[in-house]
Each structure stands twice: as C-alpha cells, then as structure tokens.
Structure 1
C-alpha cells in the first residue's frame, strides 16, 4: 500500500490512541517486536493503509498521525521472531486490537484463522483482519454533571450481585430497554433495588468479552462474561446504541438512586485462551510479558488457557490504567476481582506484598475505592483466604460452607458456626483486620441460587452439554424430601423457612454481606449450579406471571432483607462489634457479647463440646449500654421453649422467622428458625 498519511514523532504516553490538535497519537507496548504497524480501516472493514511506527522507547512504539480524527478504525500488526519455545509468536498476518482501545467495531467471535500458530507449530498464514474487530479512536471523558459518589459506611455495606441482562431482560419495561444497561435503571429496576435497603450494586463483568471456542461449537454463549478481550472497551451486547454512553448513564442512575457501584473485573486471564487459539491482542504484541510461562509452556493458574503475568510491569501498568479509567471516567466506585490470587503472584508464588497489590493500595485514586477480592485461583498455594492486605475485602467461602452445614442440621457445627457468625476470626485475625474484611455469602453466581439450595440434592447441568460433569459436586444442599419443584405445601413451607434462616443469618453476621441477585425473587435455575453458558430463562430473572408459592416467598424474603438491612444500618454492632480482646479497637469504647444456651445461661465448655447441639444464642450490648440484643439460631425441628434472658421478662421482637414467637415469658420454637429481640 502507498503511504498517504503524514506522521510525526508523537509521544510514548499516554498509551492508546489519543486525539491531538493535529491528528491522533498512537502509543503501544510491543517490547520484543522488530516492527509495529498501524493499519487504518474504513468503517466497512477495508484496510486502507499500513503505517510503520517511527519510534520505540522502553518497549513502547509511538507516533502521531496527522489528519486522523475521532472515529477512525484501526488495528495493529507486528513483525518479529517466531520462536514459540521462547513465547515469541510475532505474525504479521494477524490483526491485533489495541489493548487501550475504548471502543471496538464489533463483538469478538472466535475464529480458527485468528491463531498465530498452526497445530504443527508453524506460523498461521491466513490474514485475520476479516474476523477481528477494529479498534476505534474514541475520546471518552467523565460527565461534568455526574451525581456525587455515594459514601457508604463500611458497617452498613451490603453487596447485591447483579447481571445486567439477567436482571433487566424480563423486567416489565419498554421492550427496547430489556436486557440493557438502561434497563437496569428503569423506574421498575430502581424501585426494586431500593426496596431491598441494600447499599452496593456489584455488577457482573462489563468488559468486552468473547464466547469460548468449545461453547461456540456447542452453539452456547458465554453468559457471565468472565472471558474478556479488552480491559477498557465496554461490552456492546448490553447497549442499545452506544455502550460507553449507556454504561455511564447506568452508573449515574444508580448513584442518583443512592447506590454505590462496584464492577466485577477479570484481570487474571484473557479470551485469547491457549497458545494455539486466538492471537488478537496481547499474544501478538508481547506474549512473553503479558502471560505467565515457564520452561517454554504457559502456566494456567486460572483454568482458562492462560493467566496474566501480574508480576510484569507491562501488565501492572495496563491493569492500574484500566482501573483508573473505570473509576475516573466510567464512574464506578470499586471492584470485585475474579481469581484474585493471580493478581498477588510474583514469580510465581503468592505474597501480600506483590507489586500489583501494592500498586493498587498506594494509588491515591484506587486505594479509596471498595476493593473485593476472590482470594483463590487453581495454581499452587492458590487458596489465600484472609491473606490479602487490609485494603481488600475478601470473599469467604468458609462462611458459606459452615452456614449451609449448620442449617442442614449437621452435627457438631455450633462452634464453627459461632466463629463464622463473629467474622471468621480464624482467618481475619483480631488486631489485624476488621470483621468487615470478610465478605460473607451463602450463594454466588457460581453455584446454586438460594431457592435451588433448598430444592436440589444433585446438580442438574445437562443443558450445559457436558454430560452433567461440570459445576460443584458437593453443594451442601437439602431438598426436604423431593428433588426439584413440588406442589407439596409442607415442603414448600420448609424450603421458604430455610431460605429465611439463611438470609437472616447472613445479615446478622459480623462482616460484609453479599446477596445474589434473584434470590429475593425466589429465582430457580432448575438445579443448574454452573449456568455460565445459559443465556435464557434459566438465568434471566422472572418478574411477572408467578405462582402463589413464588409470590409468597418473594414477599417474605424481600421483607426479611429490608428489615434486617435496616437493623444493620441502625445498629452497627450487628456488623462490627468492638471487643476488649481485639487490639484493633483499643482506642474506642467497647461492646459486650455473651453466648447463651437454650436455658438462657452462659455456654459452658461442655455445651460447646456437645456435637448434638443445634441451638446457639448470644446477646450483644453496645458500648453506650443503651440496650441489648438477643439473637437466637435453632437448626433442629423439634419443638423447644427458651426462657428470656432478661430479669424483667420483656423482649421487643425485631425479627423472627415463622416458627418462632414469644409467649408467656419464653421464646417458643415450633421448628428451626432465627429470632432477634431487644431488651
């Protein structure tokens, strides 16, 4: 092609495509490439010109192309050595996405011609431009009239996990808004979210992502979005016209309604997957630095074919730049990090002093956001619950499993239940971390919904077309005598009561609670506990045309969430108690706690050691001695009468599950349940 565009030296920073007064400056990391090319396309995808970059410094190629304007479509190509054993896969036939592109011309779809290497280990010769989205020059700025950030008191924070499409697809709103960013902030969507009294929306991934090869071959879609190709571009499938503008509008609408918003982000791997699959971005630019490898082989600590080398300065800069963009420009208030142990690996072990973790915590912008870590991956020493720096909250699966076992009626669980209830101090140690660092949850997107947890013993994942082999095998669930849906009223009542016990326990536990969106709607995934590829009614929340059982369950569950969230906000002691044996609170007035048995007497050593025990109660007394709270958990269905723990025999009921009530100076438990009272 003939070069028609005029170019000048330009600048190596900022990275990406930046509009200048004379054209567009391009800066791209490709440290080992011998030459980088800028390929210009028209909007129909026709390649018009290929320009060699003029300058390279510290691994960054850069130049300014005069006369280019906003909206220009482009891609990148590299020349360099092809030495797979050294992780060098340069192949000029492969068009590459700019890692810093804010917008792509289309959603990436896997194609075998995207590969840089053949099965025989040779360079793949087919030009991939026809099947790779083009990067688009796009200036994205923060809106000047954006609503102010919501300042959430940590002790009142409650996370609500929301999938943009799943939440809004069936909402009773205008059809064009269903399944979109704007559908989330429709009046119906906002009204529902506000009714729960929760503080924080945790959005499932909104980075532009790709459906994996094996799902595409099965004619299924990646629904969850944990397979990103860009850390900057917004997922277009949730948009009506402009994903960037509409995502910003969604954030603004949620802020305006009083919510903090955090974004679930995947910085641990990319959609390029294994070496012989797609080379559409990072692999073609700087494979040896973007991805972890050893002895000529990829390290796959994520189970997704590759993992980002977060010990590399190239990756650290990319991730931190991405995070600042989503906070400063797109407006989010924090992040939930998928498979976070990979972010804390050096070469290749985990440490709380890992460069990326320290970079985030020292950053004046990022350190002030809400940071939630999924504290594991599948690599060596990949389970690190409680080991992240104090600036991160951590998802606590120990809490999930213990609470499930206690309410299932397993023997010998009371001591561990009490430990989880009080913030899992065996993992989040006193004097070092607040109990609020523990993100407590009973259900998450990867597993059963709350309704399925009480309706199924076995996973039912045949729709995933993997012969029911995928997903968790041990769900610590209970179906109350019938697998799946039933018309038996007694079983229905038991299942609803169990859900109320779960939610009440969650919201009365020390720490930060996490609720799975849809649980308040009694949503079922028909027993599927790994619905990542189900973009249909299995995962879309149902809002209308529900039966009487579901309607009753919804009312009871929503009322429980709203009532107990109000208690947490009114009485911070329910979320963070300050005890005299915790050095973290030496500077402040101290609260009191007492553990009681079913006679409302102090728990003895023998009581704690009794494996047949299914009852535990406690009293909480705030430092100001204004009142005390009595909280009761009973996981057996044998009737039980418990004397009140007060001298005057009066307790004000703040919350109770259906089988518990105060009569004639005692708490009567007809069957399992939770009670909260004040005296």
Structure 2
C-alpha cells in the first residue's frame, strides 16, 4: 500500500467521488472484480502507486482517502478473471474512467491500446493510461439563485431541436462564444429563439462523447454526439473554459428567457462499442452487467456495437442517478431518449412495465419532467410507437411519413392524413392517452432538413465517405423539377410554399410539435440526409451574407412559426381537442369537430373513399362556442374555389399560405396551400 495516503472505511453511498471533511470518498460498482484499485495522478499526469479499495458490499467497492482535495485526477483499475466467453474482461493494464465522474481532464479519443482483448482473443498487454482521460474529483452544487423553471402548459408546448455548436458557430457574436454553450444564450441567440414563440429547447447530446473508430480512420468527427462515454460529464468541446459552469449558465440563460429545456440523452449504448474496441469504463468494471449479452455474444440492439442492459439494477441505478443529476444540479427540465425501446426491454422483449421505465415514473423528481421517447431500436419487436407508459411523449414517424406523402401529392392519403392531423388515435388511443403524447415532426436531425426535403429527390452523402450508401434511401421528398440549388424563380416559389405547407400542417395538428433547428432558416445540408459526421458548414447554420431568395424564405417561414405558435397558445383546441367520444375528457364539456369537402359540405363515405381527393377541411368549435375555426388543406396545384362553411361572411383570416385568398364569401386556391380562419 502507498503509505503516503491514509485510508478510512468510507461509505458505499453515494457512488462516485465525493469530497468529505477529511478527504474524498470513492464508491464504485464492480461486482465481479476480485480487487479494485484507485489510481491517483499528480499534476504532471504521473501515476502514483495504486491504492486497493478496502471494502466491498453489495458489489460496491468503497473507501475514503484522507487528505485528498477537489481537483484530484484519478482513474480505476480492476483485477479479475479474463473469460470473454463469460463476458469477463478484467485487465489491470487498462485505466478506467469512473462512471460517476462529473468531469474528465480531456476528451476521449479512440486508440487501439484501449482494448482489453486482442484480435486473437487474448488479454491485451499494453497499459492504456496514456490514452485514457483521467476522472477529476469535482463537487457540483445546484445554484440557489437560479431563475425559476418555465411553467409550460402541455397544449402550448413546442419542441425546437438545437445543436449547441451548429446553432451558435456562425452567429454574429464574439468569436470566442461561437460554437459554445454561452453562444446559445448570447443576445443574438436568445432574440432569435424568442422570436419563434416556441416553448421548449431540445438540446442535442451534451454528455461527453467520442468519435467512432471508423470515423476517425476516415478523418471525420462525430458531430451529433450520440456516442457517449459518460452519463455525467459535460461535453468539453462546447466550452470556453469550464464545461460544467458554462452548461449551467446556458440553462440559466434559457430559463431566464422563459424556455423549458430538455436534453437528448443516449442511455442505450456507450462509446466502448464492440467487444474488441475500447475498455475505458463500464467494460473493464462490470462488462457482464452493464451490457446485454447472450451465449458469449453482445446483443447489439442499437447498431452501435453494444447496448446497455437496462434490465440490470446496476444500469438502472446509473441511469436514474444520471437523470437526477442533470435535473437537480445542472437544471434541465426533461429528456428526449435516443432509441428508447432499449430502455424498456427486460431480458429481451419490450414491455411498458420494464423496471427502468417504472423507476423513472415513480421517481418524485423525474416523473414531473418532460419525457420524450424515440420509440424504436433495431432489436426484436423494436417498433413500439404508442406503447410506452402514459408519462412519456413519443416521437411519431407515422405522422412524418403521412404528411410528407400528402404534400407530395400522393393519391389516397386524405383519410390517413386526417388521422395524423387529429393526433394519430390509431396509435395513441382515446381514453388512454392525450393526443399530446404524439410528438409530431416532419424533419429531425437524422434525415433531410425541410429545405432539402423540397429540393432533392435523392440523398447526396458522398461527404460521409461511405460511397453514398448511408442514410435513408427513401425520403418521400420532391425537388419540383431541379435537383438541388436552382436560380429558377418558379421552382424557388414552389419550394418555399411547400415548406410553409409543411410547417403550417405541423403547427395545426393535434399533438406536440417538434421543429428541427435550422428549418426556420431554410437551412440546406446540400442534400446530405445523414450529417452526423459533418462538423462543418454542411451542418452549421448560416446567419449572414444571404441571397435575396434565402432572406425572403427565412422571414416568411419564421413569421409562419411565430404566428401559428401564437394561435396554439391562444386557442388550446388547436393542439388538444376534447371530444365527446373520448373517455379521457368525460369530466369536461365537449368540443366539436366537423369534416368538410370542397363544397363545404359534410364529408360522405364516398368522399373519404375517393383516392383522387387532395382536399380536406374541418371546423373546430370549443365547448364554450365562443368561436369556430375553419382549417383547410389542399395539396393539388389546380385552381380551386371553396365556399365559406358559414352564412356569416365575417370570417377573420388567421393564417394563409401565399396562393390562398378570400373574396366574395369564397376561398380561392391558386395552388396548394393551408388556410386558417375564425368566425
């Protein structure tokens, strides 16, 4: 034992490194390890003699090291059996990150010497300390003077997906703020976000993450961040000096501006990837418990080389502890869960009663946050839209595909379009869930931007260095006669109109809308529909030096978002209608809906069955009968005239796309468009 350090018994709670009155307490789960060692590093990054943990209880190793202070750099080494067939990969030569470390001294970069196992299946002989970040003892407290959390009415909630670097990299702000947490809350950033009338910022991943081996070999970077190595440490590349402090300042700034903030989290896999890649944390401590496996093989339900075993108490505790940290200490208001079906699996199959889901919903803190699920993974029965417990909102790709097809002009879409418009009640059933459980979206980070959705027929992903094989092959897109950028004014006008039709439909649909950050800027990724590795101008949003066409498109789209968000907040019926046949609302007075054809007459069975129909309208009347709303969707380009649905010609136009106008008690559609009126 290194006599330079005195050790006391310490405590098995809390996990991680905790500063005490006399030093630092360390507690780490490594249930199958024969011995766990604490490795301390001096200011020159020299490793001192390892200190063996002296206590183990319920799989947790713990001790208190007297005299240590905040800022101490450390790592872990685990001794145990090396039996890959049993998922035991203990290798003392591998330095390991504390899973509960709040800060790392460097960004993790893949190196072949991080592996615990050679290609031949033997124990890897090289010490990895030189290429593994050191954990740092850090006490992070919740600030007592934080701005209050925004109180968002569920019916007014609208998610805006924001990448910290992509949003702020080119903002007209001080250069040191560009691409950073603090850049997001610059005056220019906040002013833009507030102008949209949205309520909720959905931050793309901010856990410390690593670029995958294959990308590193291609000299590309992981840009999106869906490859975490820590569930607690903040990604350092978005910080100027101190990532923890600056992330908290960003959250405070967004709170002060009135926003709710949710964080996109990846609890389904880690950057350690396949068995023969990195052993830098979980794999070296408790591989058989942290990762799903069967018959000596990983169960790769994520497509990322491994998947976290969220049926195991060790992983459940880690994830819930992480979530509470990000809420209580870092200040976020909720989470969007990547590949959420993995979180709801038991041994193999998905169930809404899975222990992790139930643990989240029974937690008095976590259950009150905004929880959004991506309801699929690539494992067996991996598609579970509408099947999560009531406390979760769910991303609805059925909505995305139907709306894209309707506006592309596909035949026979009106009945399904109406279903999606009303909250996808075939998936989110009446009497069980509100339509608000459906997170409606047309574009997300993984796919075309809205500008590219109307500009490209085919993906253009050559910059990803995979010979254009990656990304979705079918995007339900259209280019209006030219692939990519064009100077043709007619095509430009059609593309802008289509973007407005998309955005208007999204914000007039029952449910919770999701807007991809940059769509309001008419941002193009040059046809790349999988820009996860494009840390450059392809993915960064552009703010200045715009051509006339782009400037006009931006103003028009932003005005559409702002106007329709204001309507949703003023008239909740536009987001959540309470109908007589829905048991969920039996305690309230009922709203009314009527579906109308192009003669403003009630839709007949024959009308619904007409595959050539490209028109649908509806009236919504709140229970108090204070007003009624007429909403029209027309996806063809042949001129069409529709009589008003009321004898009262005093209709107020609340929103209309460019080709629509009212004269002589008639709505005239020069071509496809959306109309909202109140009478």
Q: What are the superposed Cα offsets for residues 648-675 of structure 1, whole Å, 9 maximum, x if unpaired?
A: 2231100000000001110000000000
Rounded to whole Å, the distance in 2 between the matches of 1:588 and 1:567 is 22
TM normalised by structure 1 equals 1.00
Residue 390 of structure 2: aligned partner: 390
RMSD over aligned CA atoms reads 0.5
Decide whether the 8 Å contact of 2:2 with 2:51 is kept in 1.
Answer: no
Residue 522 of structure 1: aligned partner: 522
Rounded to whole Å, the distance in 2 between the matches of 1:421 and 1:190 is 31
Residue 278 of structure 1: aligned partner: 278
Residue 196 of structure 1: aligned partner: 196
Decide whether the 8 Å contact of 2:341 with 2:375 is kept in 1.
Answer: yes
Deviation at 1:48, TM superposition (A): 1.6
Rounded to whole Å, the distance in 2 between the matches of 1:123 and 1:437 is 48
Q: What are the superposed Cα offsets for residues 551-596 of structure 1, whole Å, 9 maximum, x if unpaired?
A: 0000000000000000000000000000000000000011000000
Residue 56 of structure 1: aligned partner: 56
Rounded to whole Å, the distance in 2 between the matches of 1:245 and 1:103 is 11
Residue 673 of structure 1: aligned partner: 673
Residue correspondence of structure 1 range 66-465 to structure 2 within 5 A: 66-465=66-465
Deviation at 1:677, TM superposition (A): 0.1
Q: What are the superposed Cα offsets for residues 3-42 of structure 1, whole Å, 9 maximum, x if unpaired?
A: 4210010000000000000000000000000000000001
Rounded to whole Å, the distance in 2 between the matches of 1:275 and 1:42 is 31
Rounded to whole Å, the distance in 2 between the matches of 1:43 and 1:398 is 54
Deviation at 1:80, TM superposition (A): 0.3
Rounded to whole Å, the distance in 1 between the matches of 2:455 and 2:44 is 51
Deviation at 1:284, TM superposition (A): 0.1
SS at match of 2:50: strand
Rounded to whole Å, the distance in 1 between the matches of 2:589 and 2:232 is 45
Decide whether the 8 Å contact of 1:341 with 1:384 is kept in 2.
Answer: yes
Q: What are the superposed Cα offsets for residues 319-361 of structure 1, whole Å, 9 maximum, x if unpaired?
A: 0000000000000000000000000000010000000000000
TM normalised by structure 2 equals 1.00
Rounded to whole Å, the distance in 1 between the matches of 2:304 and 2:515 is 26
Rounded to whole Å, the distance in 2 between the matches of 1:296 and 1:4 is 42
Rounded to whole Å, the distance in 1 between the matches of 2:648 and 2:24 is 78
SS at match of 1:447: coil
Rounded to whole Å, the distance in 2 between the matches of 1:498 and 1:308 is 41
Q: What are the superposed Cα offsets for residues 514-573 of structure 1, whole Å, 9 maximum, x if unpaired?
A: 000000000000000000000000000000001000000000000000000000000000
Rounded to whole Å, the distance in 2 between the matches of 1:104 and 1:68 is 17
Residue 531 of structure 1: aligned partner: 531
SS at match of 1:33: coil
Rounded to whole Å, the distance in 1 between the matches of 2:434 and 2:669 is 33
Rounded to whole Å, the distance in 1 between the matches of 2:42 and 2:84 is 33
Residue 42 of structure 2: aligned partner: 42
Rounded to whole Å, the distance in 1 between the matches of 2:103 and 2:329 is 14
Q: What are the superposed Cα offsets for residues 186-229 of structure 1, whole Å, 9 maximum, x if unpaired?
A: 00000000000000000000000000000000000000000000
SS at match of 1:283: helix
Decide whether the 8 Å contact of 1:41 with 1:49 is kept in 2.
Answer: no
Decide whether the 8 Å contact of 1:407 with 1:498 is kept in 2.
Answer: yes
Rounded to whole Å, the distance in 1 between the matches of 2:546 and 2:43 is 46
Rounded to whole Å, the distance in 1 between the matches of 2:454 and 2:264 is 27
Decide whether the 8 Å contact of 1:35 with 1:79 is kept in 2.
Answer: yes
Rounded to whole Å, the distance in 2 between the matches of 1:367 and 1:182 is 29
Decide whether the 8 Å contact of 1:211 with 1:221 is kept in 2.
Answer: yes
Deviation at 1:105, TM superposition (A): 0.4
Decide whether the 8 Å contact of 1:3 with 1:49 is kept in 2.
Answer: no
Structure 2, unpaired ranges of 5+: none
Residue 470 of structure 2: aligned partner: 470
Deviation at 1:45, TM superposition (A): 1.6
Residue 583 of structure 1: aligned partner: 583
Deviation at 1:487, TM superposition (A): 0.1
Decide whether the 8 Å contact of 2:227 with 2:271 is kept in 1.
Answer: yes
Rounded to whole Å, the distance in 2 between the matches of 1:647 and 1:548 is 42
Rounded to whole Å, the distance in 1 between the matches of 2:310 and 2:614 is 46
SS at match of 1:49: coil
Rounded to whole Å, the distance in 1 between the matches of 2:536 and 2:228 is 21
Decide whether the 8 Å contact of 1:644 with 1:650 is kept in 2.
Answer: no
SS at match of 1:620: strand
Rounded to whole Å, the distance in 1 between the matches of 2:660 and 2:46 is 70
Runs of 4 or more off by more than 4 Å in structure 1?
none
Deviation at 1:176, TM superposition (A): 0.2
Rounded to whole Å, the distance in 1 between the matches of 2:249 and 2:195 is 21
Structure 1, unpaired ranges of 5+: none
Rounded to whole Å, the distance in 1 between the matches of 2:547 and 2:678 is 36
The aligned length equals 679
Residue 4 of structure 1: aligned partner: 4
Deviation at 1:49, TM superposition (A): 2.5
Residue 645 of structure 1: aligned partner: 645
Q: What are the superposed Cα offsets for residues 27-71 of structure 1, whole Å, 9 maximum, x if unpaired?
A: 000000000000000133210231000000000000000000000
Rounded to whole Å, the distance in 2 between the matches of 1:478 and 1:415 is 22
